[in-house]
Amino acid sequence: MAEADIDLILSYKNVAVVGLSPDAGKASHEVAHYLKRAGYRIIPVNPACREVLGETCYPTLAEVPDPVEIVDIFRRSEFVPEIVDQAIAKGAKVIWMQEGVVNQEAADKACAAGLAVVMDRCLLKEHHKHARR
The CATH number assigned to the domain holding 79 equals 3.40.50.720
Quote the domain boundaries for residue 29. Answer: 3-131
Strand order in the sheet with 94-97: 41-45, 14-18, 70-73, 94-97, 116-118
CB 71 within 8 Å of CB 123: no
Compute the chain's Rg from CA coordinates.
13
Q: What is the mean pLDDT of each run of 10 residues along the chain (133 residues)?
A: 75 97 97 97 97 97 97 97 98 97 97 95 93 73
pLDDT (0 to 100) of residue 17: 98
Count how many domains the chain has: 1
